[in-house]
Structure 1
Amino acid sequence: MVRIRLRRTGKTKQPSYRVVVADARSPRDGRFIEIIGHYNPVRQPKVLEIKAERARYWLGVGAQPSDTVVRLLKQVHVLDSEGKLMPASTEPVEA
């Protein structure tokens, strides 16, 4: 099964994350298929950038997002409040 999940990067006690598409059997920081965004919760304001089109593609072909990624995808309006895929909009959305 393919998952959309976070991959930890950054220094000790200063985490930042890449949003990746990976096989569910791969380790957290191991092999991945594609990087579709990044998230830095330490910086103020928090930085969240996700390629919405690529996220919609992977969700459309059956990739399962982790619980944390579901929350992040809702923030960038890829998923609605019920966790369902929202239609693509023509205007870019700021996180």
Structure 2
Amino acid sequence: MSDHPQQTAQAGQIPGPAPVQNPRLPAGLHPRLLSEEEAAAYCGLSLGNFRTRAGEVFPAPIRVGRRRLYDIHALDKAIDALSGLNQSERKGWDI
């Protein structure tokens, strides 16, 4: 077992950061919605930098009461768009 923060990539997959583990959830079950702090950490940004770009580069938060939550799938799509990964589908490239 590795102490490395990234998951082991399977054939044909790009490794990514390990999901955020919420201590209130059973082991292996990860939240779909992240707090602002968790979303910033997931994207590798400071909280201030993330807040500046939320709603522009990154998706706007989902408001639940007073909480601002971020969908991890929407964050992944935004990161894919920034890195150019989603362009491979348009150009017909094999990854």
Higher strand share: 1
TM-score w.r.t. length of structure 1: 0.27
Asked which structure has the greater CA Rg, the reply is: 2
Q: Bigger relative contact order, structure 1 or 2, given CA contacts below 8 A and separation 6+?
A: 1
TM-score w.r.t. length of structure 2: 0.27
